[in-house]
Structure 1
Amino acid sequence: MDADLWTQLADLWNQALLQGRLLLQPSRLYQIGILVVCIAFAWGVSRWIKPHFNAWMHTLEGRPKWQLRWLLLIRRRIFLMAFTLFVWIAARIMAEINPFPSRRFLLELVGTIAIAILLVGLAARLVRNELLRRIVSWALWIFVTLYYLGVADEASRLLDSLAIDIGDFHLSILTVIQAAAAIAVLFTLARLISQTTANRIRANDDISPSMQVLAVKILQILLFGAAFFIGLKFVGVDLTGLAVLSGAIGVGLGFGLQKVVSNLVSGVIILLDKSIKPGDVISIGDTFGWINALGARYVSITTRDGKEYLIPNEDLITGQVVNWSHSNDFVRIDIDFGTSYDDDPHKVRKLAIEAAASVNRVLSSRPPVCHITGFGDSSVNYILRFWIVDPSDGLTNIRGNVFLALWDTFKANGISIPFPQREVRVLNDSLAVTRSEAQP
């Protein structure tokens, strides 16, 4: 193994020396000078274009973010684009002056490598993960450079010789690089397909929101799982041993991650039985709010005060949950109040109904009702019931608005609201003196 490694290094070094000697030929030296001039021109052009390009970008308000990101990517590569253009213009001029390919070989070589590097940089933006994008970009840039320099085969043999052999299993640096590149490309394709399909699923009104979430998650799992295993198989990794190893790891993780697995299974059950879906208004314990998203492990609930709670899926399955908008959005709210015995109860009921109906969010299609619930110690007790259709806008605020309407209506019509009163009586002074004299 060591002898083979040194042989590969020697071949690579000899190839590099050969390329260096070729560059020092007189016909190549002036081409190097032309490249230096192209670099200077490209630097000057980029310094002149970038301020104008920045000013133009500031005028593009309201554009989609993906367009602005691509424009920013182009701005960062203005120098390379200008350099590539100048190199190919110089190569074309040299072809007109001297038809021999050797007179422009270096210019065309550098121009081709520059175009390849430019295209790789643009294509790598499709990879979302920052670390994976950098790895893919640098790997492709190095490969493109070595390929056009004619030393790709020597470099491949060198990387393949740096390996670990365990039985029939051969893991080399070349295999790792190929696997990373293949998985990155397949993951990018899987993400594009899943995004396109997910948008179509979400746009289909015939599918319920919970089933849309379930279908999208199943599609993502299948696509990304297939991309991972196809990428490994593509570079020759034996998946048989991987399957046995993953089974053993799965048994161990099953015991250690029971709660996580329980939440995952509970999330699937929630999506299947459609008991909870995005947009529903629910209350669990002291938490009241509407559902933002259904995750694989938890449900995101946003309350009226802006707090976002992450409720484990298992709690929604095993605990008591009030879904205010499960079958429909109609919610009935009850308000208790009392008036004096001197007030006509028929008039009180009529005024209370009119007061509730005057509030904006109270439904007129389901008019409010008011009933006497009993005769208390100091008041006649009533219950006022009304319906709303927008519980996500809050319940406390609508109760407060109805109470204010009752207060204004009762004040305007002389209806009194009783409250506890106490009387303090002072005993007669003579009686107090008589009692004191009677003491022995």
Structure 2
Amino acid sequence: MDVNLNDILDFLQAAARSVGAEVTSPWFYFQLGLVLAAAGIGFAVNALVESRIDITSLAVRWPLLLRRTVRVVVGSASVAVFALLMVLARNVMVMTTWPSRSYLLMVAAKLAFAWLIIRLVASGIHNTFVVRTVSVLAFLVAALSIIGQLNPVIDALDSVAITLGGLRLTPLLLIKLGVLLILALWLTNVVSNFAESRITQSSDLTPSLQVLLVKMIRVGLLIFAIAVALSAVGINLSALAIFSGAAGVGIGFGLQKIVANFISGLILLVDKSVKPGDLVTIGDSSGRISTMNTRYIAVAAGDGREFLIPNEDLITQKVTNWTYTDKNALVKINFGTNYDANPRLVCKLAVEVAAAAKAALKSKPPTCLLTEFTDAGMKFSLTVWVADPDNIGTTQNEVMLALWDAFKREDIHVPYPVREIRVRGGALPAETSADSST
């Protein structure tokens, strides 16, 4: 670890001397009073603007750049008023006394204008975290540059280093890498969202192929962005060989499930065995696939729940896809009648009732079969085809209610178990008789 303590101490001593020279001057307190007064006026103006002007509806029909500029200025009215007052006070001080006696006013004005410019540039970013990070870092750089301490701070951050093999890590390098990674990942997200919107609008691509292309583009852009950021700060990718080896060991031991789910997700997207919109049954979970991710698929049940099922389970377990090649679904209804009914009439009534169902397919007529003679009566199996698996439950309910009405109309009875209980001997035991007599 290389640390140049002398450079750091020299920087701190120079900064202390500069601050001490300013604080001991009576003009410093005069400028500080002007700064505080201007800040108070700025906050008062900002409160007045917020109560009188609606920022969201301001300049709706104006050009985008002008509308964004006006909204930033109005939203930061306190800073804008403060900057203007500082410029005015600075000019008055320069004309009436020495320029060195208004140094604090100049710094305050430049900082205020720098913050307004940063807010204006960052207003085009919609990610709140990125906006805050970029704004704070840019303001720190601007502040150090305004007070003339940017180069000493850079030298101090670069003087502390940790050497790992052929890689020299410094705080300055890590800060640059973090800023570049944030910027690269934000650009990657913008490009990925644009590509996803174009791909999902294409009617020539199947849903599974759309998901596959989107995932490949996102992963490819992510790898490219990280490689560009590392190269931009001067990190040789070959120096990361030791980290790639450690990552390989980690994948082998602790991340194998994550990698297995990722590979399984790619396989599912390629072979098209399941795709968004399919009605599937996996174990005890049934529903429609709402989204397919690199680690899991989301299956939306009809009761508002969503099952998150790992992709590996779809590869290794039995999966029922109700809409794999055909969306038509078969509804099976089992029922019984007693032996007083005519089985031919029962089958005829069942077929007529099923054919009259709303979701029943006309191209595939229903069928009714006599399947078994039991002690309680005859058993029948009625099958009817529907155009969508979502109609299975409603069609089954509709057909069974219609069957009940038809059986009532034709005086056909559904068998139910009958129990006969015979009690042998009417005399009670002696103990029971004695107890009852007392």
- TM-score, normalised with respect to structure 2: 0.80
Seen in structure 2, the aligned counterparts of structure 1 residues 342 and 107 have a Cα distance that, compared at 3 Å, is same
Q: Which stretch shifts more, 90-99 or 180-189?
A: 90-99
The answer to whether the 8 Å contact 2:86/2:109 transfers is: no
AA at the equivalent of 1:398: T
Seen in structure 2, the aligned counterparts of structure 1 residues 254 and 127 have a Cα distance that, compared at 3 Å, is farther
The Cα offsets for residues 163-215 of structure 1, whole Å up to 9 and x where unpaired, read as 22456532221111111111111111111111111111112121111111111
2:398 aligned residue (375, 388, 401)? 401
2:180 aligned residue (161, 164, 182)? 182
**How many angstroms apart in 1 are the aligned matches of 2:352 and 2:10?**
97
Matched, 1:43 2:43: yes
The answer to whether the 8 Å contact 2:351/2:382 transfers is: yes
Q: Give the drift of 1:267.
A: 1.2
**How many angstroms apart in 2 are the aligned matches of 1:424 and 1:6?**
104
Q: Give the drift of 1:16.
A: 4.7
Matched, 1:5 2:1: no
Matched, 1:83 2:79: yes
The Cα offsets for residues 216-248 of structure 1, whole Å up to 9 and x where unpaired, read as 111111112222222122112222120343134
Q: Give the drift of 1:106.
A: 5.8
Q: Give the drift of 1:252.
A: 4.4
1:170 alignment partner in structure 2: 168
The answer to whether the 8 Å contact 1:38/1:83 transfers is: no
1:306 alignment partner in structure 2: 304
| 3-state SS of paired residue (1:146) | helix
**How many angstroms apart in 1 are the aligned matches of 2:147 and 2:296?**
53
Structure 2 stretches lacking a partner, 5+ long: 59-66, 427-438
2:430 alignment partner in structure 1: none
Q: Give the drift of 1:151.
A: 1.6
| 3-state SS of paired residue (2:211) | helix
Q: Which stretch shifts more, 256-265 or 29-38?
A: 29-38
The answer to whether the 8 Å contact 1:42/1:80 transfers is: no
AA at the equivalent of 2:108: V
1:196 aligned residue (194, 202, 209)? 194
Seen in structure 2, the aligned counterparts of structure 1 residues 282 and 36 have a Cα distance that, compared at 3 Å, is same
AA at the equivalent of 2:350: A
The answer to whether the 8 Å contact 2:338/2:415 transfers is: yes
AA at the equivalent of 1:8: F
The answer to whether the 8 Å contact 2:282/2:318 transfers is: yes
Instruction: Please give the residue correspondences for 1:97-136 in structure 2 after superposition, counting only pairs within 5 Å.
Output: 102=99, 109-121=107-119, 126=125, 128=127, 130=129, 134-136=132-134
Q: Give the drift of 1:271.
A: 0.7
1:286 alignment partner in structure 2: 284
The Cα offsets for residues 134-168 of structure 1, whole Å up to 9 and x where unpaired, read as 55443222111111222211111121122224565
**How many angstroms apart in 1 are the aligned matches of 2:17 and 2:198?**
56
The answer to whether the 8 Å contact 2:207/2:275 transfers is: yes
Seen in structure 2, the aligned counterparts of structure 1 residues 119 and 325 have a Cα distance that, compared at 3 Å, is farther
2:336 alignment partner in structure 1: 338
1:413 alignment partner in structure 2: 410
Seen in structure 2, the aligned counterparts of structure 1 residues 372 and 105 have a Cα distance that, compared at 3 Å, is same
| 3-state SS of paired residue (1:288) | strand
1:324 alignment partner in structure 2: 322
Q: Which stretch shifts more, 329-338 or 241-250?
A: 241-250
**How many angstroms apart in 1 are the aligned matches of 2:90 and 2:6?**
45
**How many angstroms apart in 2 are the aligned matches of 1:38 and 1:373?**
93
What count of residue pairs does the alignment treat as equivalent? Answer: 412
| 3-state SS of paired residue (1:417) | coil
Q: Give the drift of 1:299.
A: 1.9
**How many angstroms apart in 2 are the aligned matches of 1:428 and 1:39?**
106
1:236 alignment partner in structure 2: 234
| 3-state SS of paired residue (2:315) | helix
Seen in structure 2, the aligned counterparts of structure 1 residues 15 and 224 have a Cα distance that, compared at 3 Å, is farther
AA at the equivalent of 1:5: I
| 3-state SS of paired residue (1:170) | strand
2:266 aligned residue (262, 265, 268)? 268
Seen in structure 2, the aligned counterparts of structure 1 residues 45 and 409 have a Cα distance that, compared at 3 Å, is farther
The Cα offsets for residues 21-61 of structure 1, whole Å up to 9 and x where unpaired, read as 7x9586x877655543332222112223334568x87x99x
**How many angstroms apart in 1 are the aligned matches of 2:29 and 2:421?**
115
* Percent of residue pairs identical: 33
1:389 alignment partner in structure 2: 387
**How many angstroms apart in 2 are the aligned matches of 1:2 and 1:108?**
33
The Cα offsets for residues 50-99 of structure 1, whole Å up to 9 and x where unpaired, read as 34568x87x99xxxxxxxxx99xx79x96743332453366369769988
The answer to whether the 8 Å contact 2:338/2:378 transfers is: yes
1:436 alignment partner in structure 2: none
AA at the equivalent of 1:363: L
Seen in structure 2, the aligned counterparts of structure 1 residues 47 and 272 have a Cα distance that, compared at 3 Å, is same
| 3-state SS of paired residue (1:381) | strand
Seen in structure 2, the aligned counterparts of structure 1 residues 34 and 228 have a Cα distance that, compared at 3 Å, is same
Seen in structure 2, the aligned counterparts of structure 1 residues 381 and 205 have a Cα distance that, compared at 3 Å, is same
**How many angstroms apart in 1 are the aligned matches of 2:75 and 2:375?**
88
AA at the equivalent of 2:78: A
**How many angstroms apart in 2 are the aligned matches of 1:150 and 1:163?**
24
Structure 1 stretches lacking a partner, 5+ long: 61-69, 430-440
CA RMSD of aligned residues (A): 3.9
**How many angstroms apart in 1 are the aligned matches of 2:395 and 2:164?**
71
The answer to whether the 8 Å contact 2:192/2:218 transfers is: yes
AA at the equivalent of 1:49: V
1:437 alignment partner in structure 2: none
1:349 alignment partner in structure 2: 347
